[in-house]
Amino acid sequence: MFQLNDTHPTVAIPELMRILLDEEGLTWDEAWEVTTRTCAYTNHTIMSEALEKWPIELFSRLLPRIYQIVEEINRRFQNQIQTMYPGNQEKLRKMSIIYNGQVKMAYMAIAASFSVNGVARLHTEILKHQELKDFYEMMPEKFNNKTNGITQRRFLLHGNPLLADWVTSKIGDEWITDLPHIKKLELFAEDEKCQFEFMNIKYQNKLRLARYIKENNGIDVDPRSIFDVQVKRLHEYKRQLMNILHVMYLYNQLKDNPDMDMIPRTFIFGAKAAAGYKRAKLTIKLINSVADVINNDKSINGKIKVVFIEDYRVSNAELIFAAADVSEQISTASKEASGTSNMKFMLNGALTLGTMDGANVEIVEEVGADNAFIFGMSSDEVINYENNGGYYPMDIFNNDQEIRRVLMQLINGYYAPDNPELFRDIYNSLLNTKSSDRADTYFILKDFRSYAEAHQRVDKAYRDQAWWAKAAILNMANCGKFTSDRTIEEYVKDIWHLKKVTVEM
């Protein structure tokens, strides 16, 4: 069978039909029966722009025979819709595979697959009741959830050998092939000796990352500071912008009050932006510009450092996950399908600072809200604003002088003295002064105060090292659900229907 992992391989559907029709001589109905029993589709995103759409002109010119087959798939699917919803032209328009000069690859994947799954429970529910509501109502039996997972063998055993050895010394090595066994660590969460050992291992890993940062970025960071980390693909919905705006806000507070009582904080970013994604690249530029100012300001006594890890990849990610104290998972609620960095950080004993989005929801269920720092609007609140309006970021700008000050620094040359207009597009995007988009599409200003308050809770909590160590160990102990072994078993049992093969090690 074919597991269509996102919309990118969807053209496999008409290509399989072409082979069965043109080369194997099957009838359409015979070929369709084989194809629809062979293909299953995994949806990896709620963002509509990531659900591929190809212009008919390009598709039909490059793949003329494939396009003929797509047309026939669409014609027959439209007949199904009309049979089920007679006279409902709105359904026909909204569900058509070919519409408005484009081929909608996700819709073809749903029509031709026997299984359609999301990758976290909240994601799947949003697909069923929001983004793909019409398809779910027509064929509910296809939809199911398979929450993503990560491999503990890469991200703990290989990536963090000090911590892996410590875990094995406490509970044995069964966790390596059966991660739920890590639950046994709960027994050690309140043990003072174990807490000290854990924090010492974390410190050694922070020293390792600090050396990497010095060698690659030329920045001295304090391994005794809180390592506050956000590493992931750069996209506006993931809100790296909110993170750096908060850094600017903290810096303003420090400049106004250099003796402010705060635990030193090292903000670490790692991200890559898509080649043509101008605003994402501008956000990276902003992060680096803020870093240049803050890291060279001796008046704040090193209380804040900002680091952008270049060329973020698995090999340096292992250093980062092992060293992190705080895992920033701050996407706009309802926008992140799942996320997996949240799981990697959890496995390595970092505490989540995040929204109730994607797999964060399930992480909080496993470890308890008391062992994470949750903030921001719920997915229902976000969706309500999107559907009904009522959010006016300019009101926040006009009434919150600290937020106003941060935003004005985007356009007054504070972080770009040679080009004061450099970050104008970011400013415009938040306030819609000269933008065709809705102002602050991803509710950065709406969630900002809640986000800042969550950071204050982090600062307060980190002062109690025993509590922090306990919470970190509990995070590790409750990450058993998030192994990719479990995810793959669910695909095997529910979708692929394969027999398990035991491999002797």
Alpha carbon distances (Å) from 149 to 75, 163, 327, 329: 38, 20, 17, 16
81 and 159 within one domain: no
Which of 233, 272, 279, 424 is flagged as catalytic?
233
**CA–CA distance, 229 with 251 (Å, rounded to integer):** 17
The DSSP symbol for 270 reads E
Whether the Cβ atoms of residue 361 and residue 276 lie closer than 8 Å to each other: no
Closest CA to 267 of 296, 307, 237, 240: 307
Let me know if 233 is a catalytic residue.
Answer: yes
- Given 146, 170, 196, the domain boundary residue is 146
159 in a domain, yes or no?
yes
Q: pLDDT means per 10 residues in the chain (505 residues)? A: 94 99 99 99 87 96 99 99 97 97 98 98 96 97 98 98 99 98 98 99 99 98 99 97 99 97 98 96 99 98 98 94 99 97 98 98 98 98 96 97 99 98 97 76 98 99 99 99 98 94 79
Cα angle, residue 339 at apex, residues 337 and 340 outer, rounded to 5°: 145
17 and 136 within one domain: yes
Which of 238, 239, 246, 335 is flagged as catalytic?
238
Tokens of 301: 């006594």
218 and 69 within one domain: no
Which of 35, 44, 455, 487 is flagged as catalytic?
44
Residue 11 structural domain: 2-146
**CA–CA distance, 492 with 478 (Å, rounded to integer):** 24
**CA–CA distance, 102 with 55 (Å, rounded to integer):** 4
Q: Which strands, in side-by-side order, build the sheet including 98-99? A: 53-55, 102-104, 98-99
Q: Specify which residues 265 forms β-bridges with.
A: 226, 304
Closest CA to 462 of 265, 267, 297: 265
Contacts of 130 (CB under 8 A, 6+ apart): 46, 334, 383
Let me know if 238 is a catalytic residue.
Answer: yes
Which of 232, 239, 246, 335 is flagged as catalytic?
232
The DSSP symbol for 6 reads S
Contacts of 331 (CB under 8 A, 6+ apart): 237, 238, 239, 339, 354, 355, 357, 358
309 in a domain, yes or no?
yes
The pLDDT tens digits for 225-266 are 999 999 999 999 999 999 999 999 999 999 999 999 999 999
- Given 124, 146, 168, the domain boundary residue is 146
118 and 179 within one domain: no
Contacts of 299 (CB under 8 A, 6+ apart): 255, 258
Note the pLDDT of residue 433. 63
Contacts of 79 (CB under 8 A, 6+ apart): none
448 in a domain, yes or no?
yes
376 and 244 within one domain: yes
The DSSP symbol for 479 reads -
- Given 118, 146, 174, the domain boundary residue is 146
Q: Specify which residues 308 forms β-bridges with.
A: 269
163 and 14 within one domain: no
492 in a domain, yes or no?
no
Closest CA to 332 of 240, 244, 401, 199: 240
Query: Domain with 422 in it: what CATH number?
Result: 3.40.50.2000
Note the pLDDT of residue 504. 80
109 in a domain, yes or no?
yes
66 and 174 within one domain: no
**Cβ atoms < 10 Å from Cβ of 182:** 23
Note the pLDDT of residue 500. 81
Which of 123, 246, 344, 446 is flagged as catalytic?
344
65 and 179 within one domain: no
Q: Give residue 6's region: left, alpha or beta (phi > 0; psi -120 to 50).
A: left
Let me know if 10 is a catalytic residue.
Answer: no
361 and 258 within one domain: yes
What type of residue is 266? T
91 and 17 within one domain: yes
Note the pLDDT of residue 304. 99
156 and 141 within one domain: no
166 and 34 within one domain: no
184 in a domain, yes or no?
yes
Which of 10, 266, 340, 483 is flagged as catalytic?
340
Question: How many structural domains does the chain have?
Answer: 2
475 in a domain, yes or no?
yes
45 in a domain, yes or no?
yes
